[in-house]
Chain A
């Protein structure tokens, strides 16, 4: 490396660093990407900036859930969801999920929840990304015996309101169309993380 390049390196890292971190928000390892072939049902949602804003314009002002959703996504930058459902247990190993968890063991991410349940095999990790002590993103990795789900929400979000949308007392509010074996939602194939 030349002397000039060596001198410029700190500046390059200074300006390119945040971009690199942004790009690493959620990168699914190839092993996990390959799981969609094994999955009975796959859900893939990639929604970024303008697409998110546009979709939120169609949220009803009468439906209470959609009102909540509109408030939630008002300041969001992106939402990425991958969910795989398998016919039988053991379709994936914890070793396949571990590289994904490892991505978020960095100073800019705080692991706020890490549940390992030997009894029912439900493992959940929740990571928060804080900027100036404000919520700037959330990652949820839920590994269940027959289901594997990754959620990446970029931007400030109210955690309680989001949990509220998920249902109550363990009863999910998933009243949308039945999942298909093909990716149900490929809204924005952009540079998804």
Chain B
């Protein structure tokens, strides 16, 4: 048996000594934070690798060229779509104009036929006055 086991007071003393509050050494917190900063998460590590690609001038220029080409092609495609739409609208107007003229002339024909079929009002001839 150790002396601490024999004497409960000694055991208590030993425990108190072991668990007593101690101040952290100077710079402990800074050291912990610095170490934490150095340890990146896997996602961050991947991201930093990806961005590191752009540190090379060739890759930077290639990316710039790709974005520019996409913008130019996108712009041209959009303009073509707009032109196509404008042409379609003009064609639609022509179609509607043609149909309206045709419909209008058919109406005219119908009115004429209807007018002919309508019974004419009897002509009222003024009665001759006997003089």
**B65: chain A residues within 8 A (beta carbon):** none
Chain B contact residues: over half helix, strand or loop, or mixed? helix
Tell me whether A174 and B88 are in contact (CB under 8 A): no
Q: Identify which of B91, B106, B116 contacts A58 (C-beta below 8 A).
A: B91
Report Cα–Cα, A72/B95, bound state, in Å: 11
For the A-B complex, the count of residue pairs with Cβ-Cβ distances under 8 Å equals 133
What count of chain B residues pass the 8 Å CB interface test? 27
Q: Identify which of A56, A124, A162 contacts B108 (C-beta below 8 A).
A: A124
Report Cα–Cα, A47/B98, bound state, in Å: 9
Query: Known: A115-B116, A149-B101, A176-B93. Is A126-B109 also a contact (CB below 8 A)?
Result: yes
5 pairs of A and B residues whose beta carbons are closest in the complex: A166-B103, A55-B91, A166-B104, A165-B103, A185-B94
Query: Which B residues lie at the A interface, using CB under 8 A?
Result: 85, 88-89, 91-113, 116
22 CB contacts below 8 A, A to B, read A51-B91, A54-B88, A55-B94, A58-B89, A59-B92, A59-B95, A81-B98, A113-B109, A122-B112, A140-B106, A142-B105, A151-B98, A151-B101, A151-B102, A162-B99, A162-B103, A163-B110, A165-B102, A176-B100, A185-B93, A185-B97, A187-B94
